[in-house]
A and B are shown apart, each in its own frame.
Chain A
Amino acid sequence: MLGFLFRRLLALAATLIVASFLIFGALYLAPGRPETFLTQGRSISPETLASIRAQYHLDDPFPIRYWDWITGVVRGDLGQSLVFRQDVASLLAPRVGSTLLLTLYAAVLLVVFGVLVGVVSGLRGGLLDTVALVVTSMGFAVPTFFAALLLMNLFSVQLGWFPVFGSGEGLADRLWHLTLPAIALAIPSGAVVARITRTSIMEEKDSEHVATAIGRGLPRSLVVRRHVLRNALLPVTTIVGVNIAALIAGATVVEKAFALDGLGSALVDAVNQKDFAVVQAIALALVVAFGLVNLAVDVLYAWLDPRFKLGGKRS
């Protein structure tokens, strides 16, 4: 297990190096010069422009700038925000909590409701299943942004149960503020998880080994737990993992809609303002989060299915 983990961490590090280069290069190639975003068309003097370029080392060649940045990151220095003239780390630190809590909250909703709906509808069938099918179809048809607006209108404006925007202070208040955003975020991926779980349960239910087990007279609840659920949950683990990773990307939309002070909304702003260092730091953080989620999925998979050889290829 340790060797497996070590190999996976090495792979993650390699991914990060490649990703960091791509992230840095992509921004470098994007059109428009950063200092023009700062001045927004004011007629400022060439001396002033030159001083801004010098302050942020905008004239250094690409390899030097990349090297300065990546060695800084390794030392824990994420650089300076061009727009806010602040350390990127101090700028982003207060935002990490919001995004982390939001995605965790949505992940819990996704797992609990996605798997629950899938299991119940797969096992029970009938009317319940039909309802689940309709609801989940709507679930992935509705764009996150639209879901956010619907929820906001119904539960904040009409009923007044939840606040319209903001992240709140203190854990209870934060959870209250993040409930609608987390639901909006979890809806599309929750629908996918529910569908896959349902299909997977149905396949297992009809499989030979389940028929054999029932034929041998084992109690139904035991068959469901040992044979149906355990086997059905294998593909579900992967799909849950992929969808949790997708939540991180989806958080951007939700954070904008609910005006949350998270990394996603900071990313959108920073891209718009061409704030190099901030975009790079957030993009890198997202890659790390993605990598870690995938790693966790693999570990969980290995634990669920002992036949799956650690470090081997999954089929």
Chain B
Amino acid sequence: MDRVTWNVPYGEPTSLDPLKSYNYPENEVLSNLCESLMRVNPDFSVTPGLAESADHPTPTTWVYNLRKGVKFWDGKEMTADDVVFSLKRHLDPAEGSYWAGDMLTGNIASVKKTGAYQVTVTLKKPDVVINDYMATPLGAVTEAAFTRQAGAKFGTPDKGVMCTGPFALKKWDKGSQVTLVRNDAYWDESRKAKAKEFGFRFIVDPATLTNALKTGEIDGSYDVPTDAVDQLSNATNGTLYLGKSMQMVAIIGTGDGTFSDPRVRTALLMATDREAISRTVFAGTAAPLRSVVPPGSYSYASKVYEDAYDKLLPTTVDIEGAKKLVQEAGKPSGPITIAYPSERTVYEDILAEVQSAGKKIGLDIQPKGVPSARYGAFFSDAEARKGYSGFMTTNYFDVPEPLAFLRNHIDPGSAENYDKFSAPEITALLDQASAENDDTKRAELTAQIETKYMAKTPWLPIVAPSTRLFMNSKITGAPASFVYLYYPWAAAVGSAK
């Protein structure tokens, strides 16, 4: 296969420096260029990547034994120094890593070379989850000499990056495409890239993307727009695949006004027909959801998680029950304003259903479109959220570990704790679970946390969308699951013949 042309539907990457890669466009491309110490696989298992093994001798130490003979694209061998350098960049405030945060890097006491092929990370308090994060750009390894030399221009179209992945960066034509070229000296013989060249385009407009896929100008794309599902499932030149995902669509409560009462939030969730939303708005490509943790993310001890999930508030509509809760809450009459990015019609459709559910139980729901330009600030700026009771999100897990996700929502210091949720009992459970090495025991603790947290309905879970992948019949191999952000998926894409 000479060349595959792929689309990144969320737009052009802004940088290919792992430190600045925190979102769809950057990670979908970077996952094929720069590898991390650990790796998330298409079945959501986490296994060693550039590390040959990860040891956990004490609750606060993680020891990474590096693979020998791994070479950067320029032929230099990867050393423990490169790994220490790469990890430490996240700890340096001057580097401005988007991955730096209280819960992850804030807990790192030191990163040291403890052998020619060994790096040891010491933590302040026990954390099992951080090892999973070593599969994200937090654990990505770039060549120290190259990175230093490029300085502030590292990861830009001018300087590019220097990594070990199955593809190397060939050319980044600003505004039009990023071209990767196969790394013929790749260390893992069995996972060498099949295509000689891999080109990324960035068509954001749903209609244009659908047309480009139907005419074969684009060979494939993850996350094809939901409006295109009907057209693409009938396409004659390719197939639409639906795969396992770690994404979920929810309304985030800001804890403001009428909506600050958990009974009101729960009532609204009970009255909302999430099954109808899955069927109509998502054309059957999403499942109604009971929790902020989508079942797709159960990568271990699934039985424990499934049992707990089944006991959560069901997705069947219960108007009477909801009315009773509203009554208990003293029949609040104030408007509940819910924001959504006005460009995303899918949210408009969801909120239309939520609004009619509200009407049935005496709640005044007011959806309000906000331009994307302003919407971004809702996630980081309390000022921007002022006056809104809630806002829409499509959230995803970085790593297949429910605990990591819940921690981000519940920890008082986390930016994702939008409604200032705080319960000392739950916080204590979080610490306990973070220190638990045994998967089943950790799952039991995490499921407890989930149950207690969801009883308050701080976020209103709506649906869990499937990973929507379209591939032209000329090509094959892209994994149909939500791993394209951190797994070198493009290497597997090759000719269908």
**Contact A165 to B212, CB < 8 A, known contacts A37-B376, A44-B98, A45-B93:** yes
- A32 touches which of B152, B212, B384 (Cβ 8 Å): B384
Contact B215 A160 (CB under 8 A): yes
Residues of A within 8 A of B97 (CB): 44, 48
Contact B377 A33 (CB under 8 A): yes
Residues of B within 8 A of A261 (CB): 173-176
Closest to A149 in B: B207
Residues of A within 8 A of B23 (CB): 40
| Shortest CB distance B434–A (Å) | 16
Q: Chain A 269-306 against B: per-residue CB contact (8 Å), 1 yes, 0 no?
A: 10111100000000000000000000000000000000
Residues of A within 8 A of B22 (CB): 39-40, 42
Contact B96 A41 (CB under 8 A): no
Give A137 to B32 CA distance when docked, in angstroms. 51
**Contact A259 to B174, CB < 8 A, known contacts A41-B380, A41-B416, A43-B408:** no
CB contacts under 8 Å to B, within A174-219, are none
Contact B202 A259 (CB under 8 A): yes
Contact A94 B100 (CB under 8 A): no
Give A247 to B12 CA distance when docked, in angstroms. 25
CB contacts under 8 Å to B, within A44-103, are 44-45, 47-48, 50-52, 55, 83-86, 90-91, 94-95
Residues of B within 8 A of A48 (CB): 93, 96-97, 100
Give A259 to B23 CA distance when docked, in angstroms. 21
- A91 touches which of B102, B174, B376, B416 (Cβ 8 Å): B174
**Contact A85 to B156, CB < 8 A, known contacts A40-B380, A44-B98, A269-B12:** yes
Asked if B413 lies at the interface with its beta carbon under 8 angstroms from chain A, I say yes
Closest to B213 in A: A164
Asked if A14 lies at the interface with its beta carbon under 8 angstroms from chain B, I say no
- A51 touches which of B96, B101, B380 (Cβ 8 Å): B96
Residues of B within 8 A of A271 (CB): 373
Contact A43 B103 (CB under 8 A): yes
Contact A50 B175 (CB under 8 A): no
Give A43 to B377 CA distance when docked, in angstroms. 13
CB contacts under 8 Å to B, within A118-176, are 149, 152-153, 156-157, 160, 163-167
Give A259 to B5 CA distance when docked, in angstroms. 15
Asked if A24 lies at the interface with its beta carbon under 8 angstroms from chain B, I say no
**Contact A85 to B176, CB < 8 A, known contacts A48-B97, A164-B211:** no
Counting from the closest, the 10 A-B pairs by CB-CB distance are A41-B379, A261-B175, A47-B93, A43-B415, A32-B377, A261-B176, A36-B380, A43-B101, A41-B380, A259-B203
